Amino acid sequence: MKDSRRNHPQYRTGPITTYEALVCLRAQYAEALIEATEVHRNYLNGAIAKLDEAIKLMKTNSARTKKAAATRLREIDALTDRERVMAQLARKIGRGCDAIYHGTRHLPLVLRYGKLLPPPGGERGIFLSRSPETAAYFASLFEFDGSHSSPGVLALNRRSLTQSYSLKPRRYDQEREQDEREEVIWGRMVNIRRHLLGVVGDSDVTAILGPPKHTCLPSTYFSWPQEQRSAFYRKQREAGHKIVRDGRARVREIIIGERSSSA
């Protein structure tokens, strides 16, 4: 069991895919067959057969996805007004620089220690994005009622980061059209002090939009039907779409004005 333990996703650093987890689980079951009793052997053979079916199906779906050409990739666009403004402010900080962004829900704590720590379990990496919208989205995810969060986005100098850390491109879900433009630093604590270009906090957004209507999920959220949950998030995003529409309208007015003056 020693080798299979070492190869299992739980015991290694790096991205974990469902396919890899199924392959590792199958290897463990096959190894357990050697010393299994007859009753356990029947169970394990059945489990291995089911895993083989799942692995084969995932291979087929993966091949179809690759043929479907990932030219449809798009960034996160369903943002609230606060997320949209946070992203715009972060983009201003990174403009003209080789910037990369990190969204956090614990901004004061990160700034106090000057470090980003990988989570203790799961995928042990520091996740960054070349898209400030992606960083703002993950920084502003609602938490459970009663929990405290201080969302914010760090704008970091990607060029200086690459001199100290290895940044690996990553897509969380290869089958989705959404591209989060992520890069990850695996298994290391990241000292941000000499790489930090600037910070956007919730207070910066509040200065523009006023205080948020919701700071966490309502206490009754998990008792809501799915339709009510979808309506809740749809309402949160409406103001974000309005910011985009207004911005595009202003750009159109500028273009029309310049064409009129040059005519």
φ, ψ dihedrals at 157, nearest 5°:
-80, 105
Distance CA 88, CA 133 (A): 8
What is the residue extent of each domain of the chain?
2-68, 81-249
Residue 28 has pLDDT above 50, yes or no: yes
3-state SS assignment for residue 168: strand
Residue 14 has pLDDT above 60, yes or no: no
| Residues ≥6 apart with Cβ < 8 Å to 103 | 129, 134, 135, 136, 137, 138, 139, 140, 151, 152, 153, 154
Residues 92-121: tens digit of each pLDDT? 999 998 999 999 988 999 999 999 988 776
Does the pTM exceed 0.95?
no
Residue 4 has pLDDT above 50, yes or no: no
pLDDT confidence band for 67 (50 / 70 / 90): low
Mean residue pLDDT across the chain: 80
